[in-house]
Amino acid sequence: MKKTILLVLCALFAGTVLSAQNAEEIVTASRKRIKADTVSTRARMVITAKDGTTTERIIDQYAKDGPKGNDRTVIVFQRPASVAGTRFLTVENPGAADDRWIFLPNLGKVRRIAASEGAGSFMGTDFSYDDISSATRDAGLDTHKLVREETLNGRNCYVIESVPKNKSYQYVKMVQWIDKENKVTHKMELYNRKNILVKITEMTNLQDVQGRLTPMLIKMTTLTEGTSTALNVDIIKYDDPIPEGVFTTSYLETGRPR
């Protein structure tokens, strides 16, 4: 009997370790699944208020790996006039918080976004500064657990719970639905420090773009506020040349790469 119990405990422990390893591998594969030197997009950002009214913004986004293989992303607001010229740069630091800067035309200078400001709203949207970086968040910053497998919108998914190692992070956990076949993250639930579900991110309208399966609609809903922000991708190009000078604070200030 003791031998049987020992074998069962060993099997359970081994299964737990294997599950944790697999969970992190699945998350990493999902975030690194699109192979491209650069990504350029134009999107319509539709912000829906609690009363149902909407406002629309046009944004361009440029992404390119840095010399150390770290992700770098620039977001440029094109319209309306009230936000035109606003530019935002984020540079990934593997194993640590991202570096982030923003240029606001009315201030006329570049401001660094501190790590402590990660929970702040990004330009009045439902996305926080941390949310903007979440698609490329280093999987090593969290502890991952494979909770279950289930079907979501007809797709077989892994359901993975990710708990930040840094306890000061704005979310106590994130739950992701990752497609078993193509590794697309279809949905993510975000829980605040009181373990209350506060936001849901959904990635839909998948299209084949230059051989890459790409979600053309990303929607963030803030359940506690009754608001949402949708990113409708109108144009996306992979591997188009992007000058190195775009990923600098100088570009944020001038809008011209040097």
Please report the pLDDT score of residue 257 as a whole number.
87
List average pLDDT for each run of 10 residues in the chain, which is 258 residues long. Answer: 34 38 88 91 97 97 85 94 95 81 93 89 92 79 94 96 92 96 95 96 96 95 97 96 95 91
Please report the pLDDT score of residue 244 as a whole number.
94
Count of domains for the chain: 1
Please report the pLDDT score of residue 69 as a whole number.
73
Please report the pLDDT score of residue 31 as a whole number.
87
Which CATH number belongs to the domain containing residue 248 in this structure? 2.50.20.10
Instruction: Provide the pairing of β-strand 185-191 with 142-152.
Output: unpaired
Structural domain that includes position 164: 3-254
Q: Model-level pTM?
A: 0.86
Q: How far is CA 61 from CA 43, 156, 185, in A?
A: 8, 31, 20
Identify whether the C-beta of residue 105 lies closer than 8 Å to the C-beta of residue 123.
no
Kind and range of the H or E run holding 232: strand 227-238
Please report the pLDDT score of residue 20 as a whole number.
52
142 three-class SS:
strand
Nearby residues of 154 by Cβ (< 8 Å), 6 or more positions away: none
